[in-house]
Structure 1
Amino acid sequence: MKNFMLLFFVGLLIFSCKGTPEEESNLNTEPKESIFLLDSKWQNQDGKELQLKDLKGKNLVFVMIFTSCQTACPILVADMQKIAAKIDPKKLKETTMVLVSIDPDNDTPAVLKKYAEERKMVGEPWLFLTSDKESIRELANVLAVKYKKISPIIFSHSNIITVFNKKGEMVNQAEGTVNSGAVAKTVNELN
């Protein structure tokens, strides 16, 4: 009888210490505000298909551009390069600098690749992405980027750089003239 009671209490203790299935499943899910919840498909500058959740585990710095832009986009691209230069080298290995085209009709993976090469933005940490119009619009809404096509090769758009942590949670946004040092500091302070 003593052994039975002992086994009963040990079993009860083990059972009560184990989390509920709901608690255990919450440990493996994304935060409710994670960019990784978007299930759209993208192509990088090499034509490789991916989803944003494939970027999980890295801090992300996002900007939306189009390659034929002659006004704001060159400034945004230069800002991204300045930010990357100011991120601690160890942190930069944990970071992906993501440039997303808002012009899928013209910015094919091959065009994005040539654009990246011309600006010496090849390899880690640089990633250029394109997708279909709906996926781009969905991401733009998440990033609070507004854009409108004015002609076949001209867009009016917001100038916003957004930082996400490794869980895909937005931690910072810089709009307009970007203080690259402040954005880099945000990335450097992420876990």
Structure 2
Amino acid sequence: MQCEGNKTYNQPFNCPICKMDLQPLETSASKIENTDGISEESIFNLTSNWNTEEGEQILLKDLKGKTLVMVMIYTSCKAACPRLVADMRNIEAQIPDNKIDQLNFVLISIDSKTDTPERLKSFAIENYMDDPQWTFLQGTETGVREFANVLAVKYKQISPIDFSHSNIISIFNPKGELIHQQEGLGVDNTETIDAILRLTN
């Protein structure tokens, strides 16, 4: 029971000050539910469907519960993407073995037509990224564009198999909220590693 500001009472009787009937406080059940739910800033609010390299169809919210290290690439890229992939592998190599199972390294293709689940699977194997902590995603053109906008990743198709694009690695907490971004190729990833380790403590 609450009356007179923050003053509370344990029994349902009249307030000794104003004599009004006391009203029960709202239960905290809804607040607890919101704590475990999805915030407005979470990428898990996006409802587009994605195909994994294993041929499974998922929503982004199916990735909930792990720290996410995400980057957008396309497998036929010969310039920036191989360096982004190397940066992802370098980040993974600096994570202690006992924390790896708390992370999911996710590579999203910006080339929905070419990068089929089968092609992504082959790419994963070729690049030694076929362990459980690695996930590759193919989406619709609309879903990819929506996700890129959330990450502030810009890309443009300049030929049937070539794109220009931003080089950004993004870190999300287990609730899908953006925590840190690393921009550029082969840059110092100390802050990125620190952000990941803070989330996995």
TM-score of the superposition, structure 1-length normalised?
0.88
Matched, 1:168 2:169: no
Q: CA deviation at 1:91?
A: 2.2
Contact 1:88/1:188 (8 A) holds in 2? no
Counterpart selection for 1:135 from 140, 143, 147: 143
Tell me the distance in 1 between the aligned counterparts of 2:81 and 2:69.
15
Tell me the equivalent position of 1:35.
Answer: 43
Tell me the equivalent position of 1:85.
Answer: 93
Tell me the distance in 2 between the aligned counterparts of 1:72 and 1:18.
53
Q: CA deviation at 1:92?
A: 1.6
Which is worse superposed, 103-112 or 177-186?
177-186
Write 1 or 2 for the structure with the bigger share of helix. 1
Tell me the equivalent position of 2:152.
Answer: 144
Structure 1 residues 113-162: Cα deviation after superposition (integer angstroms, max 9, x where no partner): 00000011002210000010000000000011000000000000000000
Contact 1:159/1:175 (8 A) holds in 2? yes
Which consecutive aligned stretches of 4+ in structure 1 deviate over 6 angstroms post-superposition?
A: none
Which AA in structure 1 matches 2:85? V
Tell me the equivalent position of 1:72.
Answer: 80
Tell me the distance in 2 between the aligned counterparts of 1:183 and 1:20.
36
Contact 1:59/1:96 (8 A) holds in 2? yes
Using CA pairs below 8 Å that are at least 6 residues apart, which structure has the higher relative contact order? 1
Secondary structure of the corresponding residue to residue 189 of structure 1: helix
Which AA in structure 2 matches 1:129? L
**Unmatched segments (≥5 aa) in structure 1:** 1-5
Q: CA deviation at 1:7?
A: 8.0
Counterpart selection for 1:109 from 110, 114, 117: 117
**Unmatched segments (≥5 aa) in structure 2:** 1-9, 14-20
Which AA in structure 1 matches 2:129? M
Secondary structure of the corresponding residue to residue 25 of structure 2: helix
The count of residues paired between Structure 1 and Structure 2 equals 183
In terms of Rg, which structure is larger? 2
Q: CA deviation at 1:28?
A: 4.4
TM-score of the superposition, structure 2-length normalised?
0.84
Tell me the distance in 2 between the aligned counterparts of 1:65 and 1:151.
15
Contact 1:87/1:185 (8 A) holds in 2? no
CA separation of 1:24 and 1:185: change in aligned 2, threshold 3 A: closer
Tell me the distance in 2 between the aligned counterparts of 1:118 and 1:158.
24
Tell me the equivalent position of 1:18.
Answer: 27
Q: Matched residues, percent identical?
A: 47
Contact 2:12/2:23 (8 A) holds in 1? no
